[in-house]
Amino acid sequence: MSPFWFGIIESIKDPLEEGRVAVRVFGDHSKNLSELPISKLPWAYTLSDSSMLSGIGKSTNRYVNGTMVFGVYIDGDSKQSPFVLGAVGSK
């Protein structure tokens, strides 16, 4: 099974303010909000174009809610740690 996935960003309001996004992965997470509310989605780290080492730099989130993204699970078949590699273009 491939560790790669496509999904939709449901929230950019990371409670830890680390630039993470809550992502609903197609095929892994129900579209039904009553079955899987946004608050229960996993938080995904994203690739960044700036340094965030030891407080140097600032984590800025360039995504908005509703962005389709492509990523990989960094924990393999457990599928609990998604990582966003980039956005998928759309009109």
Q: What is the pLDDT of residues 49-85, one digit of tens each?
A: 655 555 555 555 679 999 999 999 999 889 999 999 9
For residue 59, the model assigns a pLDDT of 54
CA 26 to chain centre: 12
The residue with tokens 């340094």 is: 51
Please give the model's pTM, rounded to 2 decimal places: 0.83
- Cβ 88 vs Cβ 70: under 8 Å: yes
For residue 60, the model assigns a pLDDT of 54
Residue bearing the bigger pLDDT, 30 or 58: 30
**pLDDT above 90 as % of the chain:** 70
Q: Using alpha carbons, select from 70, 86, 75, 87 the residue that is nearest to residue 6.
A: 70
For residue 51, the model assigns a pLDDT of 53
